[in-house]
Amino acid sequence: MKRTDSKIKTITQTLYSAGFKLTPQRQVILKVLLENEHLSAEEIYLKVKIENSSVGLATVYRTLDLLRDLNVLNKMTFQDGISRYDLNNSGHLHQPHYLLCQKCGKIDEVENDLLLEIEKTIEELYHFKVNDHRLTFQGVCRSCLEQS
């Protein structure tokens, strides 16, 4: 069994156990999400249309919302105001960090858990209970550096 299949199965179970169905539309959307990272809703919609041209944009949004409610999906909004989506826990042990290239716009992910230390400091110093964090670096990526 392929890794993708087992993920689909897990998500299907999550859906059904919450009283929802795995419709053909949701299947295609999940497929696109499994094959890609940090796509925007529009980008997901376009890729979905290639496989099933009758799917509406509203369905994409509703499915993304649903998956987010089920904690299957992560929604992120970067500085451009456009939200991007990723399936949760795609093999990450820790919350990934992001590298946004200011030249080409590419978004890379990085794993690094040095933040745990900082989190502890924050909790002690400010009495703020940390549930989650997000760290983004802006700069210039490797390939853009090499081109200049």
**Tokens read off for 115:** 């933040």
Q: Is 128 in the site for its own copies (CB under 8 A)?
A: yes
Report the candidate in 146, 120, 25 with the shortest Cα–Cα distance to residue 33: 25
> Which of the stretches 2-10, 19-27, 97-105, 123-131 binds DNA when contact is defined by CB under 7 A?
19-27
Other Cβ atoms closer than 10 A to 102? 11
Q: How many residues line the site for its own copies (CB under 8 A)?
A: 40
Tell which residue, 134, 118, 22, 13, has the closest CA to residue 75: 134
Rounded to a whole number of angstroms, the minimum distance from the CB of residue 9 to its own copies is 30
Question: Are the C-beta atoms of 133 and 119 separated by less than 8 Å?
Answer: yes
Least spacing, CB of residue 125 vs DNA, in Å: 31
Place of tokens 């093999």: 91
Note the residues at the interface with DNA (CB under 7 A): 15, 19-21, 23-26, 40-42, 54-59, 61-63, 65-66, 77, 81-83
Note the residues at the interface with its own copies (CB under 8 A): 75-81, 83, 99, 101-102, 108, 110, 112, 114-115, 117-119, 121-122, 125-142, 145
